[in-house]
Structure 1
């Protein structure tokens, strides 16, 4: 067995969305890299008018041809965590996708499902989205599920805002809100999620994905705390505890994912032209349930930083216990076989520590769980 490589999209994800974009919206009026840069600016710096940044012919080309394939794999991580715990259905997935847009998150769920040893026989999606043009593009992509290498998909669409999702009948195995909850006034978010909880099938999960922007993510931390206090939903992941989020103790900290991912070469070139990263996915998420299932065991700590390597030592920020955030350090000369997992740990990993000390010694055993969705292994 060799080293793991990050998951990679097949080039069909560059070709098919481009064909759908041209068929539905006509030819783009500028190079794709330029259009992607414009939309990215609207997403990250001009968030007061997201609708303007995401509609119109050129924006649709950027969203379909670049942002959709770039973002669809984000939902794979929370799905993989559920799968590892045996919490995904085997044969048929019933999905409600709110603020579905072009179908990015549902298509991402289908892409993840296609990578399972035994994919589901069918994925049935109810999609709610206020933009009829975006839903039309989603329908066109779903109709080509076989060409995209996805399981059989059925799609029912409804034009409307997020609140209309609460009126869908259900029950659903998965309810998805992909990069959209932040567009709702904060005061309305908890009520929406608690209303959706009633639409979950027994054992179902609600996944919220958000951009890895500080203020957006800190609002997600605050929402998490309010949901746990109200008691209608529990947090399966990413949090290893149900105590208040320690990131909220200061005004500058936030917790997000940063995972390896490879775009097809044509889309990597577009990212370069737009000045965007293309080898990693960054996002924040919550996986919510009505039962008490949790990804982490009670004695595990979650790594919430990248490794901090300085001369002679390695440090990691961890979250765990009763809502504690702590920095753990290992001197290079204290590295050993027992604590080797500390040196291999990355953001999002779960660690079981053999000591309560803030310093890892050579005799301190460290166990690591690294539930990343890997690509094919070299040497196989």
Structure 2
């Protein structure tokens, strides 16, 4: 599986661009951008090179980690998937593109779409300094996607949260039309992020898509409010990352939700761990989404083989054996 940490070559390139830049100024820009995003705003607040750099240094590690975790889940179920072309919608500084490049050595063509000129400029610089050839079109992804060629893998990472309901539906429809094989959507792991992905899931299944992950089925989501589906990926913070986020912990846990769908039916339908398993003196209990619904799967300590398997389970893992419900 691919590491969730941003590759050293990208980290070094970004750090080099920070030379001579006030850390306090970068931290302030990062904080302003983060607050805008949390309030539901988009990338319009990123207006220049300094803003783009602050955004990439603060947000790229977590976004990259979430995309890699989603790609790892996809590859776990489809280890033979070897896309040669990528279409990255709402690409920003290219975070999802770099993640896909790390996950799939087979990728040879990279097409990126985004309306923010500062983020595009940064992505082009990162690509140029690291000998990566990309085709980056500046413009609204919901419009420019019509001009893009179909790709084996289409991805939208932390993008559809910036769109209106109508625009989101149009983009999902257009992305699916451009996907030769697989479409991956990654969103913040909030109740609203889950709801957006859930709506996209319904739309895509109606259009003939087959869910690869995280769901073990194409049926309606069995979760009931206030519960929602999301996952967590831990990533290590660099010294610069800690400084810009005024953080003390050496790590960060990024909460995210994703949806991977394909044109071909998926034969392997593993259950999915929906929360961190709970360990007591007598058993381990794991909340699982299965093809027949959500269950509490229990591994008694007296059942050493099963207990040993459950000890290795983590939030978001796929479970291939039929579990026992409580």
TM-score, length-scaled by structure 1: 0.75
1:151-162 aligned at under 5 Å gives the runs: 153-162=132-141
Q: Give distance in 2, aligned partners of 1:216 and 1:239.
A: 16
Provide closer, same or farther for how the CA distance between residues 87 and 196 of structure 1 changes in structure 2, counting only shifts above 3 A.
farther
Structure 2 residue aligned with 1:124, among 109, 121, 127?
A: 109
Query: How big is each residue's C-alpha offset from its partner over 1:157-178, in whole Å with a ceiling of 9 and x where there is no partner?
Result: 2221121243134221111111
Cross-structure match for 2:56: 64
Cross-structure match for 1:183: 162
Query: Contact conserved, 1:170 with 1:200, CA < 8 A, in 2?
Result: no
Q: Give distance in 2, aligned partners of 1:21 and 1:290.
A: 43
Provide closer, same or farther for how the CA distance between residues 280 and 271 of structure 1 changes in structure 2, counting only shifts above 3 A.
farther
SS at match of 2:108: strand
Q: Give distance in 1, aligned partners of 2:74 and 2:287.
A: 24
SS at match of 2:24: coil
Residue 7 (structure 1) shift = 4.8
Provide closer, same or farther for how the CA distance between residues 108 and 187 of structure 1 changes in structure 2, counting only shifts above 3 A.
same
Cross-structure match for 1:107: 98
Q: Give distance in 2, aligned partners of 1:277 and 1:240.
A: 34
Q: Does 1:256 align with 2:230?
A: yes
Unaligned stretches of 5+ residues in structure 2: none
Q: Does 1:194 align with 2:161?
A: no
Residue 28 (structure 1) shift = 4.4
Query: Contact conserved, 1:28 with 1:61, CA < 8 A, in 2?
Result: no
1:217-296 aligned at under 5 Å gives the runs: 217-228=194-205, 230-247=206-223, 249-250=224-225, 252-263=226-237, 265-270=238-243, 273-274=246-247, 278-293=251-266, 296=268
SS at match of 1:16: helix
Residue 262 (structure 1) shift = 2.6
Residue 144 (structure 1) shift = 1.7
Residue 126 (structure 1) shift = 1.6
Unaligned stretches of 5+ residues in structure 1: 114-118, 147-152, 360-380
1:328-343 aligned at under 5 Å gives the runs: 328-332=297-301, 334-343=302-311
Query: Contact conserved, 1:43 with 1:53, CA < 8 A, in 2?
Result: no
Structure 2 residue aligned with 1:320, among 282, 290, 293?
A: 290
Q: Does 1:42 align with 2:36?
A: yes
CA RMSD of superposed structures (Å): 2.9
Q: Give distance in 1, aligned partners of 2:296 and 2:152.
A: 37
SS at match of 1:261: strand
Query: How big is each residue's C-alpha offset from its partner over 1:287-309, in whole Å with a ceiling of 9 and x where there is no partner?
Result: 12222126x43xx3211111123
Q: Give distance in 1, aligned partners of 2:231 and 2:192.
A: 15
Q: Does 1:358 align with 2:325?
A: yes
Provide closer, same or farther for how the CA distance between residues 55 and 166 of structure 1 changes in structure 2, counting only shifts above 3 A.
same
Q: Give distance in 1, aligned partners of 2:166 and 2:260.
A: 20
Query: How big is each residue's C-alpha offset from its partner over 1:97-130, in whole Å with a ceiling of 9 and x where there is no partner?
Result: 11111111111212334xxxxx33x632221111
Provide closer, same or farther for how the CA distance between residues 7 and 16 of structure 1 changes in structure 2, counting only shifts above 3 A.
same
Residue 183 (structure 1) shift = 1.3
Q: Give distance in 1, aligned partners of 2:266 and 2:98.
A: 26
Q: Does 1:164 align with 2:120?
A: no
Q: Give distance in 2, aligned partners of 1:207 and 1:354.
A: 27
